[in-house]
Every structure is written in structure tokens, then in C-alpha cells.
């Protein structure tokens, strides 16, 4: 993910700023590595001490999270340095990635990372390159990681409470069919190997970054392609997220209220809230950026190859879109 412009307190041209500017991203990365290894260990083994925050001081417990943590960190690093090197290529001052650790909470141990840039991207071609380079690079790693993980994931019965269903997208369903060689029997599902879960999370991260709004990667790509019209499209897309929230409410909450589901109401609401949360997050991003409109660029046209990359990236968002990214039963 990229952001611009930054706040005045941040120094984003790390090459010019010297070693001091690298201390904060390095510390955040180390914290994220520990947090992601802990999440991987929790996914593989469960919590050994009955608390989400236990296990951080056990090297052996953390090391067991490697089959999840190493591929996920590889996906995230590739994504962020795709942005970084594209920005450097176009001489746009950019920071090293600022990773966001999420210790003891969530399934991944991180909220990903952001790269700051010290001003708007002036060139239309540069905007497309910087916006598309991260998602495409990260996905190029996530797909083989996911394929390997799926090949090592058993198919087991999925009925009963205490079951978590990962989000399904067209690309994910196609890859499962390709790797597993056929449809999954009813009442069963793939129990994801930790590496497969890392690959799936890579698809989720790519989907979120390709959301065609504001300063997200998808917003950069769509604005490079459509220009000022994208500001209008982005507003309607954000409103459309409420429709997916409403659809999930109908799927999970309404059966609970009618007494036709064993799910607790709190769990049903949690399963429904992903797109409501992102509706709010996009509003916060808009306010932080000074408004919902994307910064303009200098006059010019995309090259034919970049125009094809832009359309491919937006089509990829549709193939990756998950109406319900994660649900627990």
C-alpha cells in the first residue's frame, strides 16, 4: 500500500535522510516478524496457555509458526518492495515499508505495511507503475505459495461449530479445483495447511489493496486509467460496500434472530462486519488525505502496455473479491 502526501513529521526519502530514518521501519518489521510467527504458531498448535498473548517468550513455540510466517512475510515484502523500487525508478522519494504488527490478535499477526511518499505522483505512467507493482509482485509470490499449500492440505468434514471458513473468490476457487483435481464433496472442505493459509491471506491482502478508492493501490491504478472520472466512481464503490455488509447481515444475523441458527449473535455480527469496517476505514483514509478525490497528475496518456496492465489489475480485483472474507461457525 502507498500513501501520499505524508505528514510533516515523517522523513520519507530514506536514502537522503540517513540511518536514523531506517530505525523506525526496522523496529516495526522486527515486531511484525515476531507477531506473524506467533500467529502462525497459534494457527498450527493452538494457544498452549489459554491466553492470546502467551507464547511470545517461547522460541520453540514461535519457531513452529515458520510454515505460515515465512511465506506470508515473503508475500508482504515482495508487495511493498514492488512499490518501493517502482517509486525509485520514477524518482519519487519513498520510505522503506512501515509494517504494522498485530500481536496476539487476528489471524495473521499483521495489518500489512505502508510506504510513504513525500508528494503527489505527477506522471500518469508513474502513478500506474507504482500502484500496480505492489499487488502484481505480491500475487506472483502468493499464487505458488497457495498452490503448494493446497497440495498439502487435507479434505475433511466441515460440519459442526468451531469451524472457520476462509473467504472464497473466483481465482481461489479455480486454484483449488486445479490443485485438488475436482470438486470438494458436500459437507467437507479443505483444512488449510499453514502455508496455504499464508497464500490465501496474500490473496486477501491483494484484494484489499486493489480496492479502487483514494490512495489505495487500486485507487492509483483506476485514477491513472480513468482520470477525474475515477473520483465519481470511487464514491459509488464505497457506498456499494454497504450492500455487501447488508448481504452478510442477512446471511448470518437474520437466521440467528429467527432462531434458525446456533450461532451466537456476537459471532454472526462479527462475520457480517468486514465490509462495514472497510466502509469506515475508507472514510477515515479520505479525511486523512484531505478529501476523497485523488491528487491530479500532469497531462499525458498511458502507454498501451500500461493501459493493458491497468485493465488487468482491475479485472484481477474482481477475480479476487471475496463477498465474505472470513466466517466462524
Average pLDDT, the chain: 87
CA distance 49 to 58: 11
Residue carrying C-alpha cell 494457544? 47
Give the contacts of 106 (CB within 8 A, at least 6 positions apart). Answer: 39
pLDDT tens string 209-227: 999 998 899 999 999 999 8
* Residue (of 93, 4, 86, 88) closest to 295 by Cα position: 4
Query: Mean of the pLDDT values across residues 244-265?
Result: 91
For 6, the 3-state DSSP assignment is coil
Q: Can you say whether the dihedral through the CA atoms of 182, 183, 187, 192 is positive or negative?
A: positive
Checking if the pLDDT of 7 tops 50, the result is no
Range of the domain at 102: 2-328
Q: What is the mean pLDDT of residues 59-83?
A: 94
Report the share of the chain in percent with pLDDT over 90: 59
Could you tell me the three cell numbers for 286?
479520505
- Residue 159's pLDDT is 67
pLDDT grade for 51, boundaries at 50, 70 and 90: low
Provide the grid cell at 150.
Answer: 493446497
Adjacency order of strands within the sheet including 98-101 = 2-3, 110-116, 98-101
Higher pLDDT, 184 or 46: 184
Q: Is the pLDDT of residue 22 over 90?
A: no
Mean pLDDT of 119-137: 90
Cell of 166: 476462509
How many whole angstroms separate alpha carbon 209 and alpha carbon 148? Answer: 24
Spatial distance between the Cα atoms of 197 and 147, rounded to a whole number of angstroms: 11
Question: At what angle are helices 217-226 and 229-257 packed, to 10 degrees?
Answer: 140
As a whole number of angstroms, the distance between CA 125 and CA 131 comes to 10
pLDDT of 36 reads 95
- For residue 294, count other CB atoms closer than 10 A to its CB: 24
Type and span of the H or E element at 297 = none
DSSP 55-124: TTT-HHHHHTTHHHHHHHHHHHHHHHHHHHHHHHHTT--BPPPEEEE-TTSTTTSEEEEEEEBSS----H
Number of residues that this document lists for the chain:
329
Phi/psi at 203 (5° precision) = -65, -40
Say if CB 148 and CB 108 are below 8 A apart: no
More confident site: 7 or 320: 320
Q: What is the pLDDT of residue 119?
A: 67
18: confidence class by pLDDT, cuts 50, 70, 90: very low
Which of the residue ranges 54-63, 68-77, 106-115, 314-323 would you say has the lowest mean pLDDT? 54-63
Q: Residues 143, 277, 317, 243: what is their CA dihedral angle, to the nearest 10 degrees?
A: 130
| More confident call, 113 vs 297 | 113
The count of structural domains within the chain is: 1
Q: Per-residue pLDDT tens for 284-307?
A: 988 877 777 877 777 788 999 999
pLDDT given at position 17 = 45
pLDDT for the residue numbered 6: 36
Task: Specify the higher pLDDT residue, 140 or 53.
Answer: 140
* CA–CA dist 224, 216 (Å, integer): 12
Amino acid at each position: 500500500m502507498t500513501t501520499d502526501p505524508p505528514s510533516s513529521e515523517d522523513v520519507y526519502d530514506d536514502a537522503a535522510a540517513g540511518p536514523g530514518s531506517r530505525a523506525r521501519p526496522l523496529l516495526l518489521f522486527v515486531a511484525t516478524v515476531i507477531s506473524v510467527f506467533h500467529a502462525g504458531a497459534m494457527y498450527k498448535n493452538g494457544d498452549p496457555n489459554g491466553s492470546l498473548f502467551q507464547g511470545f517468550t517461547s522460541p520453540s513455540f514461535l519457531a513452529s509458526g515458520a510454515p505460515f510466517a515465512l511465506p506470508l512475510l515473503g508475500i508482504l515484502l515482495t508487495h511493498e518492495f514492488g512499490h518501493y523500487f517502482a517509486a525509485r525508478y520514477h524518482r519519487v522519494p519513498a520510505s522503506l515499508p512501515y509494517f504494522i504488527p498485530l500481536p496476539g490478535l487476528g489471524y495473521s499477526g499483521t495489518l500489512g505495511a505502508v510506504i510513504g511518499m513525500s508528494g503527489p505522483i505527477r506522471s500518469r505512467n508513474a502513478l500506474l507503475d507504482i500502484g500496480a507493482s505492489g499487488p502484481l509482485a505480491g500475487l506472483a509470490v502468493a499464487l505458488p505459495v497457495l498452490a503448494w499449500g493446497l497440495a498439502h492440505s487435507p479434505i475433511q468434514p466441515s460440519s459442526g461449530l468451531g469451524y472457520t471458513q476462509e473467504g472464497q473468490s473466483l481465482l481461489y476457487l479455480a486454484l483449488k479445483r486445479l490443485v485438488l483435481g475436482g470438486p470438494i464433496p458436500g459437507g467437507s472442505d479443505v483444512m488449510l495447511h499453514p502455508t496455504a493459509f499464508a497464500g490465501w491471506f496474500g490473496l486477501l491482502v491483494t484484494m484489499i489493496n486493489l480496492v479502487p478508492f483514494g490512495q489505495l493501490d487500486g485507487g492509483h491504478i483506476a485514477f491513472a486509467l480513468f482520470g477525474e472520472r475515477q473520483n465519481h466512481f470511487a464514491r459509488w464503490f464505497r457506498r456499494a460496500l454497504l450492500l455487501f455488509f447488508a448481504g452478510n447481515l442477512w446471511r448470518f444475523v437474520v437466521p440467528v434472530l429467527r432462531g434458525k441458527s446456533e450461532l451466537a449473535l456476537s459471532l454472526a455480527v462479527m462475520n457480517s462486519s468486514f465490509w462495514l469496517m472497510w466502509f469506515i476505514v475508507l472514510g477515515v483514509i479520505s479525511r486523512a488525505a484531505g478529501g476523497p478525490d485523488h491528487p491530479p497528475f500532469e497531462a499525458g496518456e498511458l502507454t498501451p502496455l500500461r493501459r493493458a496492465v491497468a485493465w488487468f489489475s482491475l479485472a484481477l480485483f474482481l477475480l479476487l473479491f471475496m463477498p465474505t472474507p472470513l466466517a466462524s461457525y
